[in-house]
Structure 1
Amino acid sequence: MSGKMWPEGLQMDQEILLDAGAQLHRLKMFPYFDIAHYILMICEVRDDLATSASLFSRKHPLSCWLSSMLMCFADSFLANFLLGEPVIAPFKRHDDIVLATIVWYLVFYAPFDGIYKLSKIMPVYSVLSVMKEVKRAYKLIRGVWLPNHNEALRPSFATKACFLASVIFALEKNSVYITAPHDLVYLGVVGFLVYFKLSAVLLHVTDPFAPIENLFCAVFMGGIWDALSRALAAARERRAAGHATENGTISSGEKKDQ
């Protein structure tokens, strides 16, 4: 079966990729990948507080902790709400809550802000981002969605990538269009998410889908016709301005002759 699907020269590469995908698929997210996720999420909470982070965390530790937990488990809260399950069900997972609380304490209260500053160093931040993308793919295969603010109106790259990965997983599971082994598909999705996350962190590529979306909208959503309409309107305005200038010049010349 595999001989028909893969050229003979790629058999070894296929075995290596399948083995790598299987090992990646069997990776346990707890605790290391979860720690990376918690660090990035809690650092975002601290960044939102800006200069008042230190004062707020010391005056209102409970509010600070609660907002951090909501950020860390936002996907579970929203999924439970949409599925009609208890919204606070994530708080039943004591191991996760304890681990997230330890990370929260270190980010906000470590001496000299050591953990927070360390997480902002580019190599460390890149490693944490890669681990978070691996966890994102793991959540996708488990059927957990990861939306952010107003994602229905302005979907971010993370949401678009999750949607595309979900479509790929669905096609791989329920159709004949993707015949590659599941471990290989999973490895490809993880590689896709990690690659573009590193592109965003290191090269500041905000949305790799933007050129494709712009081209699609220009061709199929009236973008070309809008551009032509604007060009024609601008040409008419230039002609009208030219005629007005010529008329003004002629009138001034006639007055001089008189």
Structure 2
Amino acid sequence: MDMFAFLNLNELALGLSNLPMFPYFDMAHYIISVMSLREKPGALDVSQRSAFACWFSSMLHCFGGAVLSALMMADAPIAPLSNTTNLLLASLMCEMISVGYLVFYCPLDGVYSLASVWPLRLVLTGMKEVTRTWKVLGGVTQAGRKYKDGLFVMIAVGWAKGAGGGLISNFEQLVRGVWKPETNELLKMSYPTKVTLLGSVLFSLQQCGFLPMQTHHLIFIYTLFIVTNKMRMMLTSGSSSYPFSELESVLYKTLFVRPLTFSPLADSTQGSDQTCARQTNPEEAKKKD
């Protein structure tokens, strides 16, 4: 893009696209993922009852996207766990941060307290958001190799790989003995799920040639967007506002809200039921009248 050349950002965009995720960015992803699990209600109680259940739910938080995308691509769902180095690294983070025994023996819960220090957590969260870009791009590229120009397949796989931990949250809750179907991510999408879907759409359009932009330029723009917006949300007292919430609200009200000129569905159903009753039982209807 001419804008990148004008602002001398080409080298920065290329450097970001070649940035290795292992081990530091992956480690940040594991730490923040497991910390978010620890902070869920009842997670510490489960850690005391069953260390294995806590470890397994932690692995779903860390590798949920890879597992879900593998299922969608008809690959082995345990394939993401075949990388022993990453598995041990994630397990180490789990042991140090939330669900392992070390958290109970560490004096004053020092490890978790250290990771919860606001500046450090801010940096770790930003690093985790950087890994989101690579997960989404990896899913889109993987689907594109198998289903060439399959736009919707690429969007679905990229979305699953980037936000799989949230999309399979109900299964992860079952591992911890919790069943809350009303928390289904598809019923009420969280910010990570929405922003991952946005990224999956953009990268899929770019891979199919509908978005005239080089890959490393899109990586730079999308990463800058999700990192800065996440930092803004954290710095504004945990605000969960979505930058496109107003546009999203307008589109929803325009396209999906039932017009007020129509009667409610329940009333029309009751009216049709009464009409049918009159037709099937005219004698009883006359008696009631």
State TM-score, norm by structure 2: 0.67
SS of the residue corresponding to residue 33 of structure 2 reads helix
CA separation of 1:56/1:170 partners in 2, compared to 1, >3 Å: closer, same or farther? closer
Give 2:244's match in structure 1, choosing from 209, 215, 234.
209
Aligned equivalent of 1:65: 55
- Give the 4+ runs in structure 1 shifted more than 3 A: 55-59, 218-223
Amino acid at match of 1:211: E
Answer 1 or 2: which has greater helix percent.
1
Report the CA distance shift for 1:129/1:226 in structure 2 as closer, same or farther (over 3 A): farther
CA apart distance, 1:106: 1.0
User: SS state of the match for residue 9, structure 2?
Assistant: helix
Distance apart, 1:34 and its partner CA: 0.8
Matched residues in 2 for 1:70 and 1:218: separation?
Answer: 35
Contact 1:157/1:209 (8 A) holds in 2:
no
Equivalence map 1:104-115=2 (5 Å): 104-108=94-98, 109-110=102-103, 111=106, 112-115=108-111
User: Aligned residue pairs: how many?
Assistant: 218
Aligned CA distance change for structure 1 residues 226 and 6 (closer, same or farther; 3 Å):
same
- Equivalent of 2:231, from 198, 217, 233? 198
RMSD between aligned alpha carbons? Answer: 2.6
Matches within 5 A, 1:27-176: 27-50=19-42, 53=44, 56-108=46-98, 109-110=102-103, 111=106, 112-143=108-139, 144-147=161-164, 148=166, 149=169, 150-175=184-209
TM-score (norm 1): 0.75
2: CA distance, partners of 1:181 / 1:90 = 29
Q: Structure 1 56/181 Cα, relative in aligned 2: closer, same or farther at 3 Å? A: closer
Q: CA deviation at 1:131?
A: 0.5
Cα distance change, pair 56–180 in 1 and its aligned pair in 2 (3 A): closer
Which residue number corresponds to residue 186 of structure 1?
219
- Where structure 2 has 5 or more consecutive residues not aligned to the other structure, the ranges are 140-160, 170-183, 264-289
Unaligned runs of 5+ in 1: 230-258
Contact 1:134 1:190 in 2 (8 A): yes
Kept after mapping to 2: 8 A contact 1:199/1:205: no
User: Given that residues 68 and 77 in structure 2 are in contact (C-alpha distance below 8 angstroms), is that contact kept between their aligned partners in structure 1?
Assistant: yes
